[in-house]
Amino acid sequence: MNIRLYIAIISLIIFNIHFSSGQVQLEPACAESIEQYGVTGFSDSQFWWYFDHSYGEIIDGDGTDTVMIHWGYGTGEVELEVLEVTSEGCSNVPSLATLDIMAPNVDLGFDFPEICDQDTLLLSVGNDFQAPYEILWYDGSSTEDYLATQTEQIWVRVMDGYGCIRYDTVSLLVHPLPEVNLGDDTILCDVRNPYYIDPGDYAQYNWVSSSGNESNASDMDIFPASLGSDTIILTITDYNGCLTSDTLVIFPCNLEVLFQDMPNTITPNGDDENDVWNIPYMDFFDDAILEIFDRWGRLVYRTTNVLEEPWNGTSGGRNLPMDSYYFVLNLNMLGAQPIVGTVNLIR
């Protein structure tokens, strides 16, 4: 008994393949497609279909001469075997056919990649597909590569020359860069009280200074620069593996240079220009004390908060007359002599 084996695809175009013995090679099918297959035999026969069900499943027509098979995700060569059993219980040698289940190989890599802000992730599908093929990314682009820079879900679809389609998706997470701030460049003068820096909780620390010092400590005591300026660079790595850096310059503490251009005149007339005596660099000397005396040596003004309480030409709330006043600025720094001079009050 000869059995005729045929294949019908979704578009209902039917291919008839006749054979009398041996194994028939059918047209390829796309993975994840639904295809129709059939044989011809006696009208009252039963037909038993056998194949590796790890590749797909019969969704309609099981036991009849025509079945609908939903092929799964896997690809490879599949052997179809059909056994006809007549109403009299007679059966012939099973009819055999093979076909390839095909799909383009689309793999973007790990499904949940993570990068740091300002980094990029290059995703590529390559070009190893049956031509003519089509590539479509979720943003509408059609190149082989996609450059990702932000948190997003990215999918790509490839349709090969057989009309088979495959998708792949990745969910990209972009971590923000950690923030570290060593403060403004500064001058350190007090060797007794180092400038303490605690940048916060991170996975790794790397301190490097231009003076040659290096440390992996989580915090740092910064001392005055002895000769020239000292540049300190801190690079931190957070628990996501993201890095950032900040730089702090410590200028040498040379009092003569610091105060050589110190202003010596105030004009408290309400025009917001030189109305108070702003002495530079007072934010570096928290313990400084300023005393101002008149020409007869009487103390007219004193403050222990020079930065926040600049002299405005008054004494006890009373306006002082125009004159030259003598001042003593004691920085209260080890080994530093008081800075003395005159300040002119002009009204």
User: Whole domain around residue 75: which residue ranges?
Assistant: 4-102
Looking at residues 64-75, what average pLDDT do you find?
95
* Segment among 11-25, 241-255, 322-336 with least mean pLDDT: 11-25
Q: Where is the domain boundary, 55, 70, 102?
A: 102
Q: Where is the domain boundary, 102, 126, 146?
A: 102
Residue 107 lies in a domain: no
Residue 156 lies in a domain: yes
What confidence tier does 79 reach under pLDDT thresholds 50, 70, 90? very high
Same domain, 119 and 98: no
Q: How far is CA 181 from the centre of its chain?
A: 20
CATH number for the domain spanning 240: value is 2.60.40.10
Residue 109 lies in a domain: no
Same domain, 60 and 42: yes
Q: Where is the domain boundary, 102, 126, 154?
A: 102
CATH number for the domain spanning 268: value is 2.60.40
What torsion do the CA atoms of 142, 148, 153, 154 make, to the nearest 10 degrees? Answer: 20
- What Cα–Cα distance (Å) separates residue 306 from each residue in 249, 269, 289? 24, 21, 7
- What Cα–Cα distance (Å) separates residue 334 from each residue in 168, 190, 193, 196, 330? 69, 7, 10, 19, 11
pLDDT digits (tens, 9 = 90+) for 91-145: 878 889 999 999 999 999 999 999 999 999 999 999 999 999 999 999 999 999 9
Same domain, 46 and 98: yes
Residue 135 lies in a domain: yes
Residue 195 lies in a domain: yes
Same domain, 84 and 142: no
pLDDT digits (tens, 9 = 90+) for 181-239: 998 888 887 777 788 999 999 999 999 998 888 999 999 998 887 667 889 999 999 99
pLDDT at residue number 5: 36
Burial 43-56 (b: 16+ CB within 10 A, else e): eebbbebebeeebb
Residue 181 lies in a domain: no
Confidence check: pLDDT of 288 > 80 = yes
Residue 180 lies in a domain: no
Same domain, 12 and 92: yes
Number of domains in the chain: 4
User: What's the N-to-C CA distance of the chain in angstroms?
Assistant: 126
Same domain, 270 and 340: yes
What confidence tier does 281 reach under pLDDT thresholds 50, 70, 90? confident
Residue 201 lies in a domain: yes
Mean pLDDT over all residues of the chain? 88
What confidence tier does 75 reach under pLDDT thresholds 50, 70, 90? very high
- To the nearest whole percent, how much of the chain has pLDDT over 90? 70
